[in-house]
A and B are shown apart, each in its own frame.
Chain A
Amino acid sequence: MAKLTFLTDNCKGCGLCVDACPKHILRLATDKINKKGHHPAEIIDQDACIACACCALMCPDVIITVEK
């Protein structure tokens, strides 16, 4: 099963991963604020993830680990 892990504290909330996801299952958590003061990225439907790693390829801060 595909699994995404975010190093949430290093996320700058740029949202590039959100746009890159072909399954549209990422979002910026507007209800959360990380240590840097950003709304961090998170996955809303882990089951729908296909582990394509597009989000990780796009992430400028290398905070995403993809497993399958």
Chain B
Amino acid sequence: MVVFKKPHALTDAPFHYCPGCTHGIVHRLVAEVIDELGIEGKTIGIAPVGCSVMAYNYFNCDMIEAAHGRAPAVATGVKRANPDNIVFTYQGDGDLASIGMAETVHSAARNENITIIFINNAIYGMTGGQMAPTSLPGQVTQTSPYGRDVKACGYPIRVCEMLSELEGPEYLERVTVNSVPNIRKAKKAIKKAFQNQIEGKGFSLVEVISSCPTNWGMTPQAALKWIDEKMIPYYPLGVYKDRSAEKKEENA
């Protein structure tokens, strides 16, 4: 009996990601959820600009490559065109929280019935490790060679917390994939984010704290540890908004 195999919603193309990069784990989780919900045939994925720009080669569902930061706007168009499609975007921190912040905030405010998988690894990976909107104070990157100076560059943005102040979004959760138990929790969150869309509940975003061993200058193992030691204290895991659960509670 097969206990574990590559999900159908992933193509056979090998990932181009660096060794130990957690993008691959999150791709697989999304694909597993698509399989389990039986939605591959009606799912449309939107790839970002950044390391996961070629996600369109990895998912078996129909895929669209969006301009940098514009995936939520493209997803809005696709969902409005065919509301029966299940539409997800897969975006990194530079894409979602810097150049595409307006599209992120407004699609959340509209409670657009889409699913966003947000990879926060505190760095621009594809271009070689520049400071991201989520780079930590003091974090050394190619464009903050002396460490992120908050006086000059400001503070990293906590996307889930910020969006949770909006009336619009249905569901916001921050997870990580740096251990087996955390991967299981991340999958649950991703599944809920897709399930919400199927049920017409609206905007669901799962922020996945991820690693970038190459640009952090660490081994894959050290990078996963760094998530626990540095990332999680600034970006606490948990559910930031779950409107349906809140309503249930109120009713009870």
With a cutoff of 8 Å between Cβ atoms, the chain A residues found around residue B67 in the complex are none
CB distance from A51 to the nearest CB of B (A): 5
> Judging by beta carbons under 8 Å apart, are B20 and A66 in contact?
no
When each residue 13-24 of chain B gets 1 if its CB lies under 8 Å from chain A and 0 otherwise, what string results? 011011111111
Q: Verify B221–A57 contact, CB threshold 8 A.
A: no
Main secondary structure of the interface of B (DSSP, over half): mixed
Residues of B within 8 A of A54 (CB): 180
Q: A10-B14, A15-B221 are in contact. Are A60 and B21 (CB under 8 A)?
A: yes
Contacting residues of chain B (178-193) with chain A, CB-CB under 8 angstroms: 179-180, 183-184
> Can you list 23 pairs linking A and B with CB atoms under 8 Å apart?
A12-B20, A14-B213, A14-B220, A15-B221, A19-B221, A20-B179, A20-B180, A38-B19, A53-B3, A53-B4, A57-B183, A57-B184, A59-B25, A60-B15, A60-B17, A60-B25, A62-B28, A64-B4, A65-B2, A67-B1, A67-B3, A68-B1, A68-B3
16 further A-B pairs in the complex, CB-CB below 8 A; given A62-B10, A65-B2:
A15-B220, A20-B180, A54-B180, A56-B4, A57-B4, A57-B25, A58-B179, A59-B24, A60-B15, A60-B20, A60-B21, A60-B23, A61-B14, A61-B24, A67-B2, A67-B3
User: Which B residues have a C-beta under 8 Å from some C-beta of A?
Assistant: 1-6, 10, 14-15, 17-25, 27-28, 179-180, 183-184, 213, 220-221, 224
